[in-house]
Amino acid sequence: MQNLVTVFGGSGFIGTQAVRYLAKAGWRIRVAVRNPNLAYRMRLLGDVGQVDIAQANIRSPDSLNRALEGATAALNLVGVLYEGGRQGFQAVHAMGAKNVAEAARAQGVARMIQMSALGADPNSASKYARTKAEGEAAVRAVYADAAIVRPSIVFGQGDGFFNRFAAMAQFSPVLPLIGGGHTRFQPVFVGDVGRALAKIVTDPGAAAKTYELGGPATHTFRELLEMMLAETDQRRALVPVPWPVAGMLGSVGDLVSAILPPPITSDQVTLLKADNVVSGQAPGLAELGITPTSLEAVLPTYLYRYRKGGQYADQDAREMEAGRA
């Protein structure tokens, strides 16, 4: 089939945006997920028959072969932020990426695109960053011309950063500044990442390139929490947490990660010891013709629900002020 792309993890936070923009670009898309019954809405992102759903597990080569049959390109977005059960970093980021690449090669897929992460490093003390780098190497061992995409933290409706801390602020009088809150990030909008992925899949000139995707500005961890609190109209104390104490909190998170999402893990504490900003040595959004979207333009569109009064909070405040006048 011509112009058919198989998107592994296509129903997730980033995958949904990638599928949306691939559909706009005219691709036919096969969304490969572990639980197809949970991804039925993906078909609404394209024209009738343009988006199909397939069952696939990156630990199962047979399912990968079926999902890749007839595809022109493969886009692997599968990843985990913490380990739990069989969803370990090594199994998902390293072996999973290797399995996808080998199955794609066996099926004659012409192009391979691998989602990694800013900070991926084979020598990192973080298992997350280390296995992301191992996944890159495993894919490039099969596809020397594979495109690698490394975003900073990704924000937008349904993100795992601002939503997590905004929800935490609803019941906690304090928020932790891990390591003092000095770590720098370059948050990138999920819509921009989706557009970038669609362009990379479409453009043969993207072959063999490694892209670093960051937003228009860098912010410290403290600044990001301050922005979130201002947007949600919540007043909470930001308390610096020294690295040793943060490590102990992370160890507690490790213990509960098998049964519920942890507030933080020991590996995430390790990640926070290094800045998460683009190096400036690799192509990014500008080279793809994309103007990065600012936090200020997007945060109000989804953090409003954490305010008292929700989306009507500003209107209620204005009405109260008018009544006093």
pTM: 0.94
Residue 96: exposure state from Cβ atoms within 10 A (0-12, 13-18, ≥19): buried
User: What is the CATH number assigned to the segment(s) 4-154+188-214+276-292?
Assistant: 3.40.50.720
Residue 319 predicted with pLDDT over 50: no
What rounded mean pLDDT belongs to the chain?
94
For residue range 141-199, list pLDDT tens digits in order. Answer: 999 999 999 999 999 999 999 999 999 999 999 999 999 999 999 999 999 999 999 99
Lowest-pLDDT choice from 87-101, 253-267, 273-287: 253-267
